[in-house]
Amino acid sequence: MSKIKVGVVGTGYLGKLHTKLVRDVDSAELVGVYDKDLSTAELVAEEFKTESFSELNNLLESVEAVIIVAATKAHYKLVKTAINKGLHIFVEKPITAEIWEAEEIVKLAEEKNLKLQVGHIERFNGALVSLDQFKLNPMFIQTDRLAKFNPRGADVAVVLDLMIHDIDIILSLVKSEVKHISASGVNVVSDSLDIANARIEFENGAVANVTASRISQKQMRKMRIFQQDAYIAVDFNSGTSEIYRLVEPNDKSLKDFISFGEMGIGENKKAVIYEQPEQKEINALQYEQQLFINAIVNDETPIVSGKDGLRALKVAEMIINKINESGMK
């Protein structure tokens, strides 16, 4: 079977990583790269032994799929151009800068039966993937995503830069519509929000409390999930997860787990057990590339589709609007 010819648009820090990794993706053939900074594109092409295209259209006409790793404000134009060329598209998050832009390209991709995948990489973090075998039905989620300041990404609010990772994951876990959002945030060192907190309430009663900061002294990427009879701790930095579950005291499988005693009152007492799912050793960036190619080859909807990217963007914009309305910037 012939391989899917792939091009990379954007050869900055993340674009360089995409270029490096996609070469080893099954059923993918790296054709070349393009960047408006030709010298950068040439250096990346030389390092990874591929072609540097001086014109975007020349690259797009030479491939079947494209990975777009450009500034968020450029996503709409680049994705729309690629769609009009009949190409399948992987675009880094957030999907676009504006909701109407995302709505348009999602509709166009559907009309032309093209695959549109958004690069919400944390969906493929080993810590989260290791929970695939467990039934997650969150009723309360607490997330903390803290990072040191990095000018790369500071052109957009921290909600779109960092928090949107957790928004996407939360929306994928909570199978319900958003009912209400309250939020606060402030600019500190840039012209856009540098720290933000939001409380997202869902129609089914679930609640998510989400915090993101890019002005912290230490890095933290943690999610805590509470549901009936279970507490799950996810550490995206270490790629590990921990599960504390309540089970019947006479459960014969208890011998296979670490016991933390019992919890409850009278006949409602349950045993507390601890387990740590096997850590998944995967390269999340290459894994999402592979799933993108698989979606093309097998004619399947990408796991993180354009609609998913649009939904996450809508919630992110709602959070930003709430902060703007409060005058807390």
CATH code, 83: 3.40.50.720
Over its length of 329 residues, how does the chain's per-residue pLDDT go in tens digits? Answer: 689 999 999 999 999 999 999 999 999 999 999 999 999 999 999 999 999 999 999 999 999 999 999 999 999 999 999 999 999 999 999 999 999 999 999 999 999 999 999 999 999 999 999 998 888 999 999 999 999 877 665 667 899 999 999 999 999 999 999 999 999 999 988 888 999 999 999 999 999 999 999 998 889 999 999 998 899 999 999 999 999 887 666 655 555 565 555 555 556 677 777 888 888 889 999 999 999 999 999 999 999 999 999 999 999 999 999 999 876 55
321 with 190, same domain: the answer is: yes
Beta strands in 138-269 (DSSP E): 140-146, 178-186, 195-202, 207-213, 220-227, 230-235, 240-247, 258-263
d(CA 121, CA 139): 24
The answer to whether residue 215 sits within a structural domain is yes
Q: What are the structure tokens assigned to 143, written together?
A: 């997330």
List the domain range (segments joined by +) for residue 57. Answer: 4-120+284-301
Q: What is the DSSP letter of 205?
A: S
Please list, in sequence order, all residues whose beta carbon lies within 8 angstroms of the beta carbon of residue 165, skipping any fewer than 6 positions away: 93, 120, 121, 122, 145
35 with 132, same domain: the answer is: no
Domain count, the chain: 2
The answer to whether residue 307 sits within a structural domain is no
pTM: 0.91
Nearest CA-CA partner of 142 in 170, 176, 161, 175: 170
In this structure, are strands 116-119 and 88-92 parallel, antiparallel, or unpaired? parallel
Q: From the CB of residue 298, how many other CB atoms can be counted at a distance below 10 Å?
A: 8
93 with 238, same domain: the answer is: no
